Structure 1
Amino acid sequence: MTDTATTVGTPAADDVDEATNKMAVGALIPLLIIFILGTLCLQGFNLVFQQVGADVGAPGQASLITALPSIVLGIVCFIYGSLGDFVSLRKLVTVGLVTLLIGSLFGFIANYFFQPHLWTVITARVLQTAGEQVAGSAYLVVATKYLRNSLKVIFFGLFTAGYQLSAAIGVFAAGLLSSLSWQFLFLIPSVTIFFLPLLLKNLPAKNGNGKKSRCSWLHGLRSGDSFLTLFFSYMNWWLLLISIVLFVGFAVYISKAKAPFVTPAFFRNVRWIMAISLIALFYFVNYCISPFFNAIGHDVYGMSTGQVSAYIVWSFVVATVVGTSSGAIVGRIGRQTAIITAGCLMIIGFVGSALLIYSGFLVLTLMACVFYAGAGLMYSPLIASVLGTLSKSESGRGVGINDLVMNVTGSIGIAIFGGLMGAKALSGGSLVGATGAAASYSNLLLMGGGVLALGVVVYLIFRKKIYSVVE
């Protein structure tokens, strides 16, 4: 049994030829740049969604600006990743980049030249999110199917580094533009359309096995996710009931349909179920840290969003450095040790911030750096472990479901924590003796740390089974 970074889903005997590998590298670089620019908007709006909510007159529903586009992100991740098993990546990328451009222009024009409104912001962010994620999903499909095994973990590491770099730029840009006009955030990814000719040249003309598969059930799944997140935002029980009905309908459909994208057998893979549960736990708080720190800076330390962003941008720089180095780190210490180490760093970041909330914003920034160091290290070994439980023919759908779970659980997390944060819940007292807003934020950070601790415990219980075949 080995625990090396180079074992990612397929054995060395199935390595690709030099021409295919060269094509993959040529496509991966522009896809990464597009992904960085597109994700930048998500992180920027994640930092300032409370300000945007106040500006559009809907502060109580402000978390939906992050939560609903995140659900769409998960859905399109699944669609793009799954279609990567069947249809041309060229077509997917073309549709995605055009959609991103439309969303960027609509968001800026509708909210800058006209009265901004919550649903014009959400609609534009949904279009941008649906468009930009084509780059992320295509990147993972290309890296999984067309890249040499020895390069996979390296490019997975670059992917998570790119995500953290985009987060750093997004936080910095949002902090800068929050004092000018947050509407300009919409325009940043519009330049990605100029990468389309290069991608059409390098992406494969054909892809997958040529078999057709039905995806109409995705509408039910997407609606189920949406109603579930709306339930956590509005706490109306009929929304939860609708969500349950839609999920049951999804389960019935895939058990009866002749050619669904994902069959019931896919969900009977016990090793995959165990591995995917780790993504749900470790990424449940994925969208929380920036709004937490923005709120703490404003309510506890009297700081502006621009001042907050000048501090926490360094935590994303740390994540970028660690993410870039994650391939080498995992290669040296192994996937299992890397996941445990990353999880512990994320826990320390959340719990340390909760206990040191009165110690100064610089100390809190250091705790954020610890959290994001763990986040930067986590992605590569965790995704490699999950994809390692699937066959190569299922890799596209595996990538899609990974992103679906990551973003849907993250959107539910921000809906729950964002709602509690906005209501100043749990403000009666805390372990550190804080009261008011500081107590609320401290308690919420402890809750987030508890979710991450559960992730580490589940991994320690399941890891032998997860690696039982691959390793």
Structure 2
Amino acid sequence: MADNTTVVEQDVDDATNKMAIRALIPLLITFVLGTLCLQGFNLVFQQVGADVGAPDQASLITAFPSLVLGIVCFIYGSLGDFISLRRLVTVGLIVLFVGSLFGFFANYFLPANLWTVIIARVLQTAGEQVAGSAFLVVATKYLKNSLKVIFFGLYTAAYQLSASIGVFAAGFLSTISWQFLFLIPAVTIIFLPILLKNLPDSNGSGDKIDTVGFVIFGVATAFLTLFFSYMSWWMIALAAVLFIGFGVYISKAKNPFITPAFFKNTRWLMAISLIALFYFTNYVVSPFYNAIGGALYNMDSSQVSTYLVWAFVCAAIVGTSSGVIIGKIGRQAGIITAACLIMCGFAGAAFCVDKGFILLTLCACVLYCGVGLLYSPVVSTVLGTLSTEESGRGVGLNDLVMNVSPSIGIAIFGSLLAGVPAVDEAGSAAARAAAATGYSQLLLIAAGVILLGLIVYLVFRKHIYGTK
């Protein structure tokens, strides 16, 4: 059954579609290997910090790349509206390759140093995200409408699969030498000739890049991201001032990269709010399950990960199939189904907290099936509210919200998680019951957030799709 919206999106010709497919495959592989490396370092950063003699500063190994990721997600997608994707991807792959080699040689053949690790990871993160952003821009602008949900589904499946493989790769390589993690995405340089042949040489308007606007927005985003890592109020205050200044700037500038009219698109505003709500809980599952496993089941993180990996596998399988599924049931039914699966996963876990970790794992599998199904229809819905000329900026803002919203979520849920009663060494029944109740309440709150997103969608979906 086709989607029941009445919006008619202009399709591309067969030649453009074939060119896009030939470019999307290597872009996807590059994104997978870059994400795999990212997830690997997220797992072993404490070991890396200890090995370089800076255990107290180990979190910087993940904090700085995360900061860069939050900024470049927006900038790369937006730049796709103004400059050649071929040029953008070329620079990105070269930066990724240089960062990979620098990280390996500087830390394997020379004494490992915290800042050489951080610099290499920043270069790798900045480089690999070009592939992710370019993938979404190409899929949005140059792919046939019937194939868009399929490739959006492959994108989220690739992310989930690379996340799970990254955990195991890091665990294996950490027993040999973590420096080899740097080399994983270096092989993507071989895709450069293919991408040079198939990526469009001209893209967007070709207008002069609004450097001032990008700098103001980028710095504001940087401080916003840093706030959720360090919770310093001066950072959020400065971010707020910069965002206000950005609003004043784009209302006065002659050719801003994004105009106030963009933010007056109420269809887009309603659609992007779905991203903010549905992805608010995206980072909480692992810390929730780690806490529950440790407090109630005496499990360490590695034991918990052997259970949770099956949830990532479920997400990858459903994500791969999501294009076919959405093609049969339509975007609206897909979003509703995905939201219900995520909500049921959280709610089911809330009632199974002390009933056994296998039951909790089954709930996580249900939840991640929803996550795997959600990305394709919700991103297609958001980008469908914009014109082709605005799709790059739409991709950038979509990625930005998808990164910032769960960062806010984990900051809030993390503080609530710290308030759950601890289980004493004796593991008394009363202490275990109190902890189980606390975890159940947090899981139900997470389910409530998804329910709120579903309600917003049901109330405003006609307006989002431009139907009466």
**Range of TM-score over shorter length:** 0.7 to 0.9
> Aligned equivalents of 2:119 and 2:332: distance in 1?
40
Q: Secondary structure at the match of 1:326?
A: helix
Root-mean-square deviation (CA, aligned residues, Å) is 3.1
Q: Secondary structure at the match of 1:334?
A: helix
Partner of 2:426: none
> Aligned equivalents of 1:325 and 1:285: distance in 2?
23
Matched, 1:42 2:33: no
* Percent identity (aligned): 68
> Aligned equivalents of 1:209 and 1:63: distance in 2?
41
| Unpaired runs of at least 5, structure 1 | none
2:16 is aligned, of 10, 20, 27, to 20
Deviates more, 1:148-157 or 1:56-65: 56-65
> Aligned equivalents of 1:184 and 1:206: distance in 2?
37
2:408 is aligned, of 408, 412, 422, to 412
Partner of 1:382: 378
> Aligned equivalents of 1:5 and 1:325: distance in 2?
20
Partner of 1:79: 75
Amino acid at match of 1:158: L
> In the TM superposition, what is the alpha-carbon distance from 1:149 to its structure 2 partner?
1.9
| Unpaired runs of at least 5, structure 2 | 424-429
Partner of 1:4: 3
Partner of 1:468: 466
Deviates more, 1:316-325 or 1:353-362: 353-362
Q: How does 1:424-435 map to 2 (within 5 A)?
A: 424-427=418-421, 434=432
> Aligned equivalents of 1:167 and 1:5: distance in 2?
34
Partner of 2:168: 172
> In the TM superposition, what is the alpha-carbon distance from 1:64 to its structure 2 partner?
6.1
Q: Secondary structure at the match of 2:258?
A: coil
Amino acid at match of 1:159: Y
Q: 1:268 to 1:23 in 2, by over 3 A?
A: same
Q: Secondary structure at the match of 2:297?
A: coil
> Aligned equivalents of 2:457 and 2:420: distance in 1?
30
Q: How does 1:68-147 map to 2 (within 5 A)?
A: 68-109=64-105, 114-115=111-112, 117=114, 121-147=117-143
Q: 1:58 to 1:240 in 2, by over 3 A?
A: farther
Q: 1:235 to 1:163 in 2, by over 3 A?
A: closer
1:459 is aligned, of 457, 460, 464, to 457
> Aligned equivalents of 2:249 and 2:194: distance in 1?
39
Q: 1:427 to 1:186 in 2, by over 3 A?
A: farther
Q: 1:242 to 1:327 in 2, by over 3 A?
A: same
Cα deviations by residue, 1:215-261 (Å, 9 ceiling, x for unpaired): 33223223223323333333332222112111111111111111111
2:260 is aligned, of 233, 257, 264, to 264
Q: 1:331 to 1:201 in 2, by over 3 A?
A: same
Amino acid at match of 1:192: T
Matched, 1:373 2:369: yes
> Aligned equivalents of 1:298 and 1:191: distance in 2?
38
TM-score, normalised on structure 2?
A: 0.88
> Aligned equivalents of 1:177 and 1:298: distance in 2?
25
Q: Secondary structure at the match of 1:410?
A: helix
Amino acid at match of 1:463: R
1:315 is aligned, of 292, 311, 317, to 311
Cα deviations by residue, 1:259-289 (Å, 9 ceiling, x for unpaired): 1111100000011001001111111222332
The total of aligned residue pairs comes to 461
Q: Secondary structure at the match of 2:463?
A: helix
Matched, 1:328 2:324: yes
Contact (CA 8 Å) 1:88, 1:206: kept in 2 or not?
yes
> Aligned equivalents of 1:68 and 1:413: distance in 2?
19
Contact (CA 8 Å) 1:284, 1:409: kept in 2 or not?
yes
> Aligned equivalents of 2:8 and 2:54: distance in 1?
49
Deviates more, 1:244-253 or 1:55-64: 55-64
Matched, 1:218 2:230: no
> Aligned equivalents of 2:35 and 2:434: distance in 1?
34
> In the TM superposition, what is the alpha-carbon distance from 1:318 to its structure 2 partner?
0.9
> In the TM superposition, what is the alpha-carbon distance from 1:133 to its structure 2 partner?
1.2
